[in-house]
Homo-oligomer: A and B are copies of this chain.
Amino acid sequence: MARVNKNYGLLKENYLFSDIAKKVKKYCTENPTNTIIRMGIGDVTLPLPLVAVKAMQDASIEMGDKKTFKGYGDEQGYGFLQKAIQDYYIKTSNVSIDLDEIFISDGAKSDIGNFSELFSNDNEIVIPDPVYPVYIDSNIMLGRKIKLINGNKENSFLPLPSEDLKGDVIYLCSPNNPTGSVYSYEQLKIWVDYALNNNSVILFDSAYEAFISDNSLPRSIFQIENARKCCVEFCSLSKTAGFTGTRCGYTIVPKELIVEGIKLNNMWRRRQTTKYNGTSYIVQRGAEAIFSEEGIMQCKKNIDYYRTNAKIISDTLDEIGIWYTGGINSPYIWLECGRDSWDFFDFLLEKTNVVGTPGSGFGKCGEGFFRLTAFNSYENTCIAMERIKKIFQ
């Protein structure tokens, strides 16, 4: 008799975005002439850089010609893309990574979700609250014990290890989703030192690194001394290059990262060669183009567009005098709404027709906070902020 994985029964259904959709739909039905501006989504809206489009068209043509057709590629990805990522790390962070430490995938969500398989079930997992739900849910599925650490106004939603913290595997996300806050070098060094002292492993999600404009902030955990001995880094082209629907990510597993005498690099390679069959050749060619000089320039233009929106939002909040994190080195603005975050959602929808995301949807510590994103158009962002200014002044 087959038996199911009982841990699935412990998962909470996350209705956050469907609850939002329902409320917005109801409001629109009752107020058909009002113009809703959606600033709740975490998805990009600008099209792909043309250099990637061209590369994927060319790669598609290659696939139709016997002489250039590609069958199975290495599970770890093509050397041309690994090389491009290696160069990108040098250029943007002055970090050296070997090619066989770079694992190409279909996106950071898969890799973050799957990586925990490499650990035994008795590891204690440390996850900041509020949080991207994948960290928690993927560990609940495995039956892991999870310790949440609190992000709050006092620590600017950048929790650090307390003296008594016991943690074996630690998830960090910087620039953070949902709060937009970014750890400094000094703060990440505290985490890395904690991990080294406790033989812990840090799983570092740097999906939003391309939004960092302040050069005094680290883009990669490997900019921290000795991080190669205790950290894995997940990144993706989703936010860097608008690849949310194109799908390409990469995970860096340094060969110095050894747990109980075993290289996680070897374990992850074994996991991927067994349960993954490589990323589409066409997509890998598109990703390679993103890391070209022209590609990086086109991406920067798009990111600057979102950054301008983020600045419009944060300037507005400064003007009104609302406390927030993010908005400068992140497409997310996490504001203190000073009340139940669903109440604030309703209030904002009714008074301004602006849709955001209630902070409580990201964890208990998100209560009293609210997320706005910079992914709408410049024009809509301006209109939304004018409306918000009006009701708060």
The yes or no answer to A4 lying at the interface (CB within 8 A) is yes
Task: Tell me if B267 and A120 are in contact (CB < 8 A).
Answer: no
Instruction: Please determine whether B280 and A245 come into contact, CB atoms closer than 8 angstroms.
Output: yes
**Interface residue range, chain A:** 35 or more
A96 on the interface (CB 8 Å rule)? no
For A49, the chain B residues whose CB sits under 8 A away are 64
Closest B-chain residue to A65, C-beta based?
Answer: B47
Residues on B with beta carbons closer than 8 Å to the beta carbon of A64: 47-50, 52-53
Question: Which residues in B have their C-beta under 8 angstroms from that of A8?
Answer: 118, 262, 267, 270
- CB-contact partner of A60 in B43, B57, B66, B242, under 8 A: B57
Residues of B within 8 A of A66 (CB): 45-47
Asked, given contacts A50-B64, A64-B50, A277-B106, whether A45 binds B57 with beta carbons under 8 Å apart, the answer is no
A169 CB contacts on chain B under 8 angstroms: 2
Distance to closest chain B CB from A129 (angstroms): 18
Q: Which residues of B contact A279 (CB under 8 A)?
A: 106, 247
* CB of A350 within 8 Å of the partner chain: no
Report if A122-B270 is in contact (Cβ < 8 Å); known contacts: A53-B63, A134-B275: no
Q: Which residues of B contact A61 (CB under 8 A)?
A: 53, 57
Within 8 A of B (CB), among A36-71: 43-50, 52-53, 56-57, 60-61, 63-66, 69-71
When the two chains form their complex, are residues B3 and A119 in contact, meaning their CB atoms are under 8 A apart? yes
For residue A6, give the distance in angstroms from its CB to the closest CB of chain B: 6
A72 / chain B contacts, CB cutoff of 8 Å? 43, 244-245
Name the B residues within 8 Å of A278 (CB-CB): 245, 247
**Given the complex, which residues of B lie within 8 Å of A5, measured CB to CB?**
117-120, 267
Instruction: List 16 A-B residue pairs with CB atoms under 8 Å apart, sorted by A's residue number.
Output: A1-B198, A2-B260, A4-B119, A5-B119, A47-B64, A56-B60, A56-B63, A57-B57, A57-B60, A71-B245, A107-B277, A113-B275, A117-B141, A245-B278, A245-B280, A280-B282
